[in-house]
Amino acid sequence: MNITDIESHALMILQFLSIYLLLFVVMLILRAGKIYKSRELFFSSVMMTLQLILAGMILTYLFQNPHPLFCLAYLILMISLATRRILAKAPALPKPFLFRVALVFIAAALFVSAYFILIVARENLFNPQYLIPITGMLTGNAMTGFNIALKTLHDQLKTNADQISCMTMLGVHPKKILHPFINNALETALIPTINSMVSMGIIILPGMLTGQILAGALPNTAILYQVSITIAICVTVALSVYLGLHLGQYTLYGRNLQIRL
């Protein structure tokens, strides 16, 4: 590397670091609103940067050494962390319920990822340039959907505990009682995904589309990939949350047909 390359690289790093100056705007807003989260904001931005740098180093190695075992190891780590975050956000729900949620989440994310890579992209399943980012986007959005759904379901069950108890005493089957709560949780979980689909294109240029355009891809090609991944995300969220909630509901009551609140 010659002096010119070193200077160019140093300039690029300085330009990148300038984005952090914008965080002071957020800190000023927090201070004005007497919201004492500046330290948390700083810590979060540092953690985000370090994790992304580490991920970049690992992905660079994976792309240069595209071995299936390396891809599987990264995939297992990524899905494990996402699953752990889902379960950590809903500790009050029964463990058998969360176990089924975890299984469905993993199965749905892997199924849609494999379909996208093999059928839509027509690439090798273990091509890290497709497997890692595609699965990452799908699991990330499904994780968010599950977090929203589980919180909504838990809050509804607690808020309507008296009504549920009365219906149980009247002999209404738990499945019939839980049905509207599960449907509402599913609907709530899908709101962010559907809203992003409605506003996408004219109002919002999504991250994947923007990244490909900045990297030099033709807008039409980038748009085809963006539409494909957006539909895949919607399917992953809907499929995983729907199956997770409907399969998990059977663990919310026992043989005595009493709902565990």
- Domains of the chain: which residue ranges? 1-66, 68-251
**Alpha helices, H only, the chain:** 3-17, 23-32, 38-64, 68-88, 95-115, 128-159, 161-169, 174-199, 207-214, 219-248
Q: Which of 227, 233, 138, 241 is nearest to 187 (CA)?
A: 241
Q: What are phi and psi of 253, to 5 degrees?
A: -145, 155
List, for residues 104-142, the tens digit of each pLDDT value.
999 999 999 999 999 998 999 999 988 998 999 999 999
Report yes or no: 227 and 120 within 8 Å, Cβ to Cβ: no
182 contact partners, CB below 8 Å, separation of at least 6: 153, 245, 246, 249
Q: What are phi and psi of 93, to 5 degrees?
A: -80, 150
C-beta neighbour count of 208 within 10 angstroms: 17
2: helix, coil or strand?
A: coil
Mean pLDDT within 23-48: 88
List, for residues 193-220, the tens digit of each pLDDT value.
888 888 776 666 666 666 666 666 677 7
The pLDDT assigned to 3 comes to 57
- The whole-angstrom separation of Cα 62 and Cα 68 is 9
Task: Name the token pair of 193.
Answer: 């995904």
Question: What Rg, from alpha-carbon coordinates, does the chain have?
Answer: 22
139: helix, coil or strand?
A: helix
Please return the burial class of 55, using the count of CB atoms within 10 Å of its CB with bins 0-12, 13-18 and 19+: middle
pTM for this entry: 0.82
Mean pLDDT within 94-104: 91
List, for residues 174-184, the tens digit of each pLDDT value.
889 999 999 99
- The whole-angstrom separation of Cα 235 and Cα 116 is 11
- The whole-angstrom separation of Cα 209 and Cα 222 is 5
C-beta neighbour count of 101 within 10 angstroms: 26
Residue 232: pLDDT band (50, 70, 90) is very high
- The whole-angstrom separation of Cα 234 and Cα 232 is 5
The pLDDT assigned to 51 comes to 87
Q: Looking at the predicted structure, is the pLDDT value of residue 246 above 60? A: yes
Distance of alpha carbon 71 from the chain centroid: 19
